[in-house]
Structure 1
Amino acid sequence: MKVLVPVKRVIDYNVKVRVKPDGSGPDLANVKMSMNPFDEIAVEEAIRLREGGQASEVIAVSIGVKQAQETLRTALAMGADRAILVIAADDAETDIEPLAVAKILAGVIEDEKPDLVLCGKQAIDNDMNATGQMLSALLGWAQATFASEVRIDSGKAVVTREVDGGLQTIGVRLPAIISVDLRLNEPRYASLPNIMKAKKKPLEEKSAADFGVDVSPRLQILKTTEPAARSAGIRVASVDELIAKLKEAGAV
């Protein structure tokens, strides 16, 4: 079984994002970039499937700028077998929209013919949560979203999903698209020897034009603002005063 894992280069989750003075978007100057945390979980799960003898090959794919090579090398250092970089933008501030990403991935899948696609449920930069679902629709494949547990059994994937009311377990026939949630696993750290080995693993470069996909944006960002500063609280002298204040605020 061949497993394909899309990964995205995003601002590191430990970085406090700043907005440009003109409000045109986040300031990426001298900002640390890393693999999207949900995608990292997907890479880990794919590697575990291979280590368990259920997958024969793990392929990492990234769509974006040339600098995404670093993100793919991280996936290779974690244990992916090879990587594909689809260069679809020249500027790191250009975010390729989910539909264009899904169309490019559909082209990659047509070439590679994987049995399973594991992807993060969403990217932490735009929180779209749409690429996996769009890819499933384009391919006509089964899908399972928000996976907290994945088990492969007799040509199908048994997936436990996190839903509003608790957990839901479903079975989907392969080939399938599965988007993963936080509680699926704990991604491993890439060791120094594996980081060195990753430099010799194959990384193929392609372009969006190779798949005939137009990556022109359909959405226009009008303005980006930072969240409003949290207002100061007040002190109360007693429980009765606290309850009175809560009633005034409509919280009780």
Structure 2
Amino acid sequence: MKIVVLAKEVPDTAGTRKLDPNSGILDRASAESVPDEINERALEHALSFRDSGNDAEIIVVSVVPAGAEPSIRKLLAMGADSAVVITDDAIAGSDAARTAEILASAVEKLNPDLVIAGNESTDGRGGVVPAMIAEYVGWPVLPALNTVEISNSAVSGDLTAEAEQIQLTAELPAIISITERSAEPRFPNFKGIMQAKKKPYTTWSLADLPNAGQARAASSVMVSATERPARTAGPKVVDDGSAATQLIDFLAAQKVI
């Protein structure tokens, strides 16, 4: 079985994340870039399937800017067999629809049996890319799974909808996205880190993806961006016997109550 795990490089949540006010695009120099943690969980499902005695080739696929190799190599150190990254100046700042179109073209070229993705990234949190890819390639999609069971012919899992658990199943080929409630990712060991340095790392541009719409750049363009105003200190309530009344008046003025 061939499994593609979609990955994304994101700013470290422990750092400071900023937008470039001139371009409206994320300023990647403002924080260290790391592989999104949800992608590590997605990869863990593929690795666990292989660890259970199943024959599986696991390929990490990502749309990344130049210089993202260290982040992707970490996923190879966890156990993925190879990586394919799509890097092109023409796709800088692409929105979810454009990114999905590019990834769908990569999926068609690689022709896997299963695609595993996180349900949403920690920077954009759109949560729509896996379903968009499925629409492009014409495959079933199982979204936001808390549990995953993979066989050689099908994939299944539990989805939480409101207060109800729903069991979903799809025949392969299929695309699934997983939540943070699913598998706990393993840590790369020293052997894995050393092996990752020699694993195949292939870079594609739009020219390598004939179905990705080479002539078009991002689907939407940021017109303007301004920094969020600094937070100001809120009012201080001193309890002189009227604190409850002051609090009620404040909440009423803010239209909270």
Shorter-normalised TM-score: what interval? 0.7 to 0.9
Task: Give runs of aligned pairs for residues 6-17 of structure 1, distance below 5 A.
Answer: 6-17=6-17
Matched AA of 1:235: V
Are the equivalent residues in 1 in contact too, given 2:35–2:71 (CA < 8 A)?
Answer: yes
Would the alpha carbon gap of residues 2 and 16 (structure 1) be closer, same or farther in structure 2, given more than 3 Å must change?
A: same
- Paired position in structure 1 for 2:99: 101
Are the equivalent residues in 2 in contact too, given 1:66–1:90 (CA < 8 A)?
Answer: no
Are the equivalent residues in 2 in contact too, given 1:147–1:161 (CA < 8 A)?
Answer: yes
- Paired position in structure 1 for 2:50: 50
- In structure 2, what is the Cα distance between the partners aligned to 1:100 and 1:36? 19
- In structure 2, what is the Cα distance between the partners aligned to 1:12 and 1:72? 14
Report Cα offsets for 1:75-130 as digits up to 9, x if no partner. Answer: 10011011112222379xx2233333333333333333211100112223333322
- In structure 1, what is the Cα distance between the partners aligned to 2:187 and 2:235? 41
1:195 match: secondary structure: helix
The percentage of aligned residue pairs carrying the same residue is 29
- In structure 2, what is the Cα distance between the partners aligned to 1:45 and 1:97? 27
Report Cα offsets for 1:20-47 as digits up to 9, x if no partner. Answer: 4547343332631111222222112211
Are the equivalent residues in 1 in contact too, given 2:155–2:171 (CA < 8 A)?
Answer: yes
- Paired position in structure 2 for 1:78: 78
- In structure 1, what is the Cα distance between the partners aligned to 2:193 and 2:235? 48
- Paired position in structure 1 for 2:28: 28
Q: 1:142 aligns with which of 140, 143, 155?
A: 140
Would the alpha carbon gap of residues 23 and 141 (structure 1) be closer, same or farther in structure 2, given more than 3 Å must change?
A: closer
2:109 match: secondary structure: helix
Gaps of 5+ in 2: none
Report Cα offsets for 1:121-166 as digits up to 9, x if no partner. Answer: 2223333322211110111111011111111247222211233334
- In structure 2, what is the Cα distance between the partners aligned to 1:163 and 1:16? 33
Are the equivalent residues in 1 in contact too, given 2:94–2:220 (CA < 8 A)?
Answer: no
Gaps of 5+ in 1: none
Are the equivalent residues in 2 in contact too, given 1:64–1:89 (CA < 8 A)?
Answer: no
Question: Shift of the alpha carbon at 1:181?
Answer: 1.1
Q: CA RMSD in A?
A: 2.4
Question: Shift of the alpha carbon at 1:73?
Answer: 0.7
Q: 2:237 aligns with which of 228, 235, 238?
A: 235
Q: 1:211 aligns with which of 209, 212, 237?
A: 209
TM-score normalised according to structure 1 size: 0.87
Matched AA of 1:175: P
Q: 1:129 aligns with which of 127, 130, 143?
A: 127
The question of 1:40 aligning with 2:40 is answered: yes
TM-score normalised according to structure 2 size: 0.85
- Paired position in structure 2 for 1:155: 153
